Amino acid sequence: MNQALKIINQAKKEGRKALLETEAKTICAEYNIPVTKFNLAKSEKETATQADKIGYPIVLKIVSPDIIHKSDAGGVMVNLKNASEVVTGYRKIIENVTKYKSDAKVVGVLVQEMAPQSTEVIVGAVKDPQFGQTVMFGLGGIFVELLKDVNFRVAPLTADDAKEMITQLKAYPLLNGYRNTPPADIEALIGILCNTSRLVMDYPEIKELDLNPVMAYSNGVKTVDARIILE
Ligand code: ADP
Ligand code: MG
């Protein structure tokens, strides 16, 4: 077992600082951080086979150590509804990425379940030079980028710390049920924050962690994208 240690050591050996989404999500899953079902495919045919296995709709994403922001490279295709759309999507992603960065090393294409739309939250961690591992929580999109409505706590977090990080957000009412949006599962959010804290405490060589976005449902949460950067 201990996938996290294996993956981190392998990346170090290869001199890679940014883990691939497959690697980051495997580590998250080991720490009970819920992630979308995913499988790496290396050909058009494999992509369609994996998609059939996971079930539609499907999301495809480029897996490349040279591409950190996948959508900037045209490397994300969402809501593919059948095998033929998946095959076209695979070709399109490879074409986009080649145009974006002709020498990008392509490991393959990540085939994953499409998480139903919901309130998007962001869970992050950064290693502060003074305070060490610090966990961050906020709502997605404009709440973080424009309003800077995020909360930080130095790890390790207790469940009470995590709860405060959530309930003290200005946008908390949006998580607590607003108009047509059912309340988010606060216990599951506390869980993801505590598990993230545990992960970065166990691996001090993690410099940055970014779960963005995480879908917050009324029953559970699901991490759609995960990035881990090593020192
Ligand atoms: P990046 O941040 O590297 O550009 P993401 O994996 O975050 O790539 O994908 C970009 C966007 O596509 C996400 O913010 C999300 O809105 C959507 N998306 C990606 N993967 C999924 C998925 N499995 N289910 C639903 N939406 C997804
Ligand atoms: Mg993302």
Average pLDDT, stretch 125-149? 89
Q: From the CB of 134, is ligand 1 less than 6 Å away?
A: no
Nearest ligand 1 atom, CA 67: 3
**Who surrounds ion ligand 2 at CB < 5 A?**
212, 225
| Distance from residue 62's CA to the centre of ligand 2 (Å) | 12
Across 32-36, 42-46, 140-144, least confident range:
140-144
The model's pLDDT over 35-60, given as tens digits with 9 standing for 90+, comes to 999 999 999 999 999 999 999 999 99
Reported as a pLDDT band with limits 50, 70 and 90, residue 144 is: confident
Task: State both tokens at 87.
Answer: 């095959």
Average pLDDT, stretch 183-206? 98
CA distance readout (Å), 203 to 5, 186, 231: 8, 26, 11
pLDDT at 196 over 80: yes
What's the pLDDT at 102? 94
Nearest ligand 1 atom, CA 61: 6
Average pLDDT, stretch 192-218? 97
Reported as a pLDDT band with limits 50, 70 and 90, residue 143 is: confident
What's the pLDDT at 1? 63
Q: Give the pTM.
A: 0.96
The model's pLDDT over 97-107, given as tens digits with 9 standing for 90+, comes to 999 999 999 99
pLDDT at 147 over 90: no
Q: From the CB of 153, is ligand 1 less than 6 Å away?
A: no
In a mutational test of the pocket of ligand 1, which residue from 69, 78, 86 has the highest number of ligand atoms less than 8 Å from its CB? Answer: 78
What's the pLDDT at 152? 96
What's the pLDDT at 179? 81
The model's pLDDT over 54-68, given as tens digits with 9 standing for 90+, comes to 999 999 999 999 999
Q: From the CB of 213, is ligand 1 less than 6 Å away?
A: yes
